[in-house]
Amino acid sequence: MIGSSPEIELEEGLEGREFVRPPESYWRQSWVRLRENRLALAAGGVVLFLAVVAIAAPLIQIPIHYGPLQQDLTDNFAPPFKAPHWLGTDELGRDVLIRLVFGARVSLGIGFLTVLIATTVGTAVGLAAGYYGRWTDEVLMRIVDVFLAFPAIFLFIGMSILFRPGTLTLSLIIASVGWAGVARLVRSETLTLKTRDYMLATRSLGARDLRLMVRHLLPNVLPILIVSASLGVGQIILIAAALDFLGLGIQPPTPSWGSMLSNAQTYFYHSPWLVIFPGLMIFITVLATTLFGNAVRDAFDPRLR
Amino acid sequence: MAEHLLEVRGLTTEFETRDGILRAVDRVDLYLDPGEILGIVGESGSGKTMTVLSIMRLVPRPGRVVAGEVIYRGRDLVQVSEQEMREVRGAEIAMIFQDPMTSLNPVFRTGWQVGEPLRLHKGMGLRDSIGQAARMFRQVGIPEAERRTANYPHEFSGGMRQRAMIAMGLTTAPPLLIADEPTTALDVTIQAQILELLREIASQFGTAIILITHNLGVVAGMCDRLMVMYAGRVVEEGATEGVFARPKHPYTWSLLRSIPRLDADEREPLHPIEGMPPDLTNLPSGCAFHPRCPFRIQRCIDERPELVALVDGQRAACWVTQAGTDLELAATGDAWGGDG
Amino acid sequence: MLGRYVARRVLAAIPVFLGVTIVTFLLMHLTAGNYVPGLALNPDLTAKDIARIRANLGLDRPLYVQYLTWLGGILHGDFGTSLIDGTSVLGDILGRLPNTLELTGTAIFMGALVAIPLGVVSARRRGGALDNFLTLVSTVGFAVPQFWLGLLLILIFSVQFEAWHLPWLPSSGAYSAFNGGGPLDRLQHLILPGAVLSFFYISQWSRFVRSSMVEVLSQDYIRTAWAKGMSERRVTYLHALRNSILSLVTLVGLEIPGLIGGGLVVEVVFGWPGIGLLAYQRALQYDYTVVMGTTTFAALLVIVGNLLADVLYAWLDPRIRYR
């Protein structure tokens, strides 16, 4: 018998930390890698399903026969798993199922909208800071530092009180902090890209700044943006739900998962389903987007190649 | 023959990879006597490092020793328990590595690290072990030894770090020291100093040394005996002088022709070895060197040659020389001219 | 050497702190700066009365004067007084601070205590059952809303346990109103909120420790450690862990804003009388001096926390002092 030996780690070859402009095949390769990941497909399927549900909410309302705001005080706190209210009713006799369906609109809408805004602003700032350098970089990055130093929730509280937010305002509020992280990421990537020969070459040919940034830098930071965006959606849905829960987000009577939970707190001694279902929806949504985001990172992140 | 300090027989180490089983060490035999310096030479990937890591039982996973014995002072190290093996490592057999920049732990003081084997194996206390580390520092030529033990590795130069590594290997006065390319990462002048230090150690303490290198010049100056590896196999082994004077394997012969020699005719060109090192997951048939060999015969392609003693205890694994052919004569003769 | 390093870090933190105060001030001014609670609703007050009250509160002065006055106060430790009950904002904050530190400190400590060994073990046995299980737990931990987890725990350990006549845990506050405040009583109140917060840290940090251990274990100096003939335990927990803890320290430092923010939600769910709950309750009442004070104070905590993490890192990593 051969004696056992300690397990020593073999150093894994970490190549390709630096990468030049992704060739055309990069996108196809990433896409193939993503499609081969079964967990990713499943998670992506869940996200897609939820998106369809959110968009088609008014249609789903038809067979259920209840509106999200429709009250029935004669049938409040109806327990779940029984017709006609499959997931029960709340304290005003509103159908939980249809409220969850409409809640998906709010959650997913805010998730995607916020990521869009934060990524756009963050990319612009990051590109500018990284490209121009010197005092532009210095000033912009100090501002980024300030926003990263904030315990964001305190800012959200302040802003929420000012704006009494709907979907768009809540997205803007969350994005007002979220852009800083994106900006820092894009800046550091831009700094490494800027030193590349082709950048110098293009510059010496007299290309204008804006053109250089949009045509040459942007496509190169795109993979990293895709990764950060797909990982960001889930976290933003969580933050938005927390704000709704605190009563600082989407205002009643508009159904959102967070505010449903907040409401249910009072009643969960006798109606625990009012707590369980909305939380489950948040959990499933965030889990699916996070798993999908992880898979996207594995497939697209040039640093993991 | 009297019992050797270390005798390795048929040592075989394999890695399971996606492309199949990779045999990094293939039936290696070697021996070492006290105070002797053995050089192991070969290209990177030839299995030099894996051979000594197999002796130490420190093969990185997923690799493992699948066959063979490593007899050290009458015990087979392949068979002993991990507990016993731990008592051998650092106490009986010490090892120093190629890159002194990364081989010392950055977060501990050098004296603490150099004295650690004493605490592990000799039951010495912290203060005593660091005191002993300072004495070792002096021994290996680190100035201001006392003060230097309080330094961290990043405060040492590369040469100093390698001296510290050697000091660390020698604190427990092990009978055997394995040095894996100890000078590759260093400046040329520092290289010479470190090699000189190793030679002194061997003669002064009677420490046996296995010196892994890809530099034949180092071997010529240092080693009593020499072992050449190719594709995980030993292809030639013998006294340094003998092998240099009349290599009995075409690979050794090519290696010797590929290095610049001081006594060579200036007009004589250098001869780099043609072809690529072999893919270990897909070795050529027969002798692994045959695709690059200027002397190959049909038998080299069909059948793997074993290591056979030829002259003065010099052994080689080659059908051509085992058939009595002299490589130097054959190379200058017309018969082989067109093939080089 | 370490002293100079610390001094440099402190200097770098000053502009960030000023930036934080400016943002907070502007935001609060926009939010509620022109608003005095109940003022507009009171029919007995004339426009002149309102103007007088505003003047007393200093709200009629130019914005920058108000900011500098407020900042000057903060630098002297004066965070102003509450608009609701006239108590000192700093006094309110300091009164709540021990509770917040108790909760967050416990959670961070428990988190690290559990996450580090879990991370180390799953790094040593990569792809093993425990490793895969922990990957699952961490993904779940990343996706589960803390307030929901808190509610579920209350549902199980307070509501259901009580219904089943089992020893149940308190679901709200830091101690019992009657005959409370003893160490055991406080501990009972700490369990649920502490569990929610530390579960989150455990799920994140154990993955982090794992990946940094995987990297450290492949380093040359670990091979050196093996070659010296030491036990697996010593290699892992002394030589490797010391290095990978370095990166965990940095991570915790970077996550401090998240730690304090996450604490707020948990404080609200469990009625834990900390700074977060104070800020939240007062925000709902438009008590903007208190909100400004808590926000600034929390940002200060973040900055100090980052600073501490930097210093700790420098202390742990001998290489950094010379940079």
Expressed as residue numbers, the domain containing C277 is 97-287
Whether C176 is covered by a domain: the verdict is: yes
Range scoring the smallest mean pLDDT among B251-265, B319-333, C207-221, C276-290: B251-265
pLDDT for the residue numbered B339: 44
Q: What span, in angstroms and rounded, lies between the C-alpha atoms of B125 and C161?
A: 55
Rounded mean pLDDT, C203-220: 87
Q: What span, in angstroms and rounded, lies between the C-alpha atoms of A164 and A251?
A: 7
Q: What percent of chain C has pLDDT over 70?
A: 87
Chain CA centroid to CA B48, Å: 6
Whether C45 is covered by a domain: the verdict is: no
B118-168 confidence digits (pLDDT tens):
999 988 899 999 999 998 898 888 888 889 988 888 888 888 888 899 889
Q: What span, in angstroms and rounded, lies between the C-alpha atoms of C323 and C316?
A: 14
Q: Do B120 and C224 touch (CB under 8 A)?
A: no
- Contact in structure between A162 and C30 (CB atoms under 8 Å): yes
Residue with tokens 């002394």: C238
User: What count of other Cβ atoms lies within 10 Å of the Cβ of residue C21?
Assistant: 21
Whether C320 is covered by a domain: the verdict is: no
Helix (H) or strand (E) holding B95, with range, is: strand B93-96
Whether C74 is covered by a domain: the verdict is: no
Q: Do C16 and A241 touch (CB under 8 A)?
A: no
Minimum-distance CB partner of B90 among C227, C316, C318: C227
CATH code of the domain covering residue C221: 1.10.3720.10
Sign of the dihedral through C-alpha B244, B314, B67, C221: negative
pLDDT for the residue numbered A52: 87
Contacts of residue A55, defined as CB under 8 A and 6 or more positions apart, other chains included, come to A105
pLDDT for the residue numbered B22: 86
B58 contact residues in A (CB cutoff 8 A): 5-6, 8
Number of domains in chain C: 1
Whether C1 is covered by a domain: the verdict is: no
Rounded mean pLDDT, A197-209: 63
Kindly list the partner chains of chain A, i.e. chains with 3 or more CB atom pairs below 8 Å: B, C
Q: Do B105 and C243 touch (CB under 8 A)?
A: yes
pLDDT for the residue numbered A18: 35
Q: What percent of chain C has pLDDT over 90?
A: 2
Q: Judge whether residue A22 has pLDDT over 80.
A: no
Q: What span, in angstroms and rounded, lies between the C-alpha atoms of A176 and C55?
A: 32
Rounded to whole angstroms, what are the CA distances from B48 to A157, A270, B30? 65, 73, 12
Q: Judge whether residue A14 has pLDDT over 60.
A: no
Please, what is the angle between helix A257-264 and helix A218-245, to 10°? 20
pLDDT for the residue numbered C155: 84
pLDDT band at C191; cut points 50, 70, 90: confident
Residue with tokens 């989407």: A250
Mutate to test the interface with A, among C142, C196, C267, C294 (most CBs of A within 10 A): C142
Which residues, listed in sequence order, are joined to residue C288 by a DSSP beta bridge? Answer: none
Q: Do A157 and C235 touch (CB under 8 A)?
A: no
Whether C180 is covered by a domain: the verdict is: yes
Tokens of B32: 């070492």
C223 contact residues in B (CB cutoff 8 A): 58, 97, 103
Beta strands in B240-300 (DSSP E): none
8-state DSSP, B305: P
pLDDT for the residue numbered A283: 92
Strands B37-41 and B225-230: parallel
Whether C108 is covered by a domain: the verdict is: yes
Closest by CA to A47, choosing from A233, A260, A255, A254, is: A233
Range scoring the smallest mean pLDDT among B21-35, B310-324, C43-57, C262-276: C43-57
DSSP string, B107-120: TS-HHHHHHHHHHH
Q: What span, in angstroms and rounded, lies between the C-alpha atoms of B191 and B222?
A: 12
Minimum-distance CB partner of A287 among C15, C139, C258: C139
A66-118 confidence digits (pLDDT tens):
777 777 767 777 677 676 766 777 777 677 777 888 888 888 888 899 999 99
Whether C139 is covered by a domain: the verdict is: yes
Mean pLDDT of chain B: 85
Minimum-distance CB partner of C159 among A9, A162, A269: A269
What is the pTM (predicted TM-score) of this model? 0.78
CB-based contact, A10 to chain B, within 8 Å: yes
Rounded mean pLDDT, C226-232: 89
Q: Pseudo-torsion of CA A145, A146, A147, A152, nearest 10°?
A: 120
Q: Do A3 and B85 touch (CB under 8 A)?
A: yes
Q: How far is B72 from chain C (nearest CA, A)?
A: 16
Q: Judge whether residue A292 has pLDDT over 60.
A: yes
